[in-house]
Amino acid sequence: MIGLDAKIQVEFDRNVVRQYRLIGYENRAIAVIADFRNDTSDAAEFGAGHTAVAMHAVQLLPGHRAASPP
* pLDDT digits 0-9 by tens, 29-42: 655 555 666 666 66
* pLDDT digits 0-9 by tens, 13-62: 999 999 998 887 666 565 555 566 666 666 566 677 777 788 899 999 99
**Alpha-carbon torsion (35, 32, 53, 45), positive or negative:** positive
> Alpha-carbon distance 62 to 66, whole Å?
12
Whole-model pTM? 0.59
Of 9, 64, 3, the closest CA to residue 32 belongs to 9
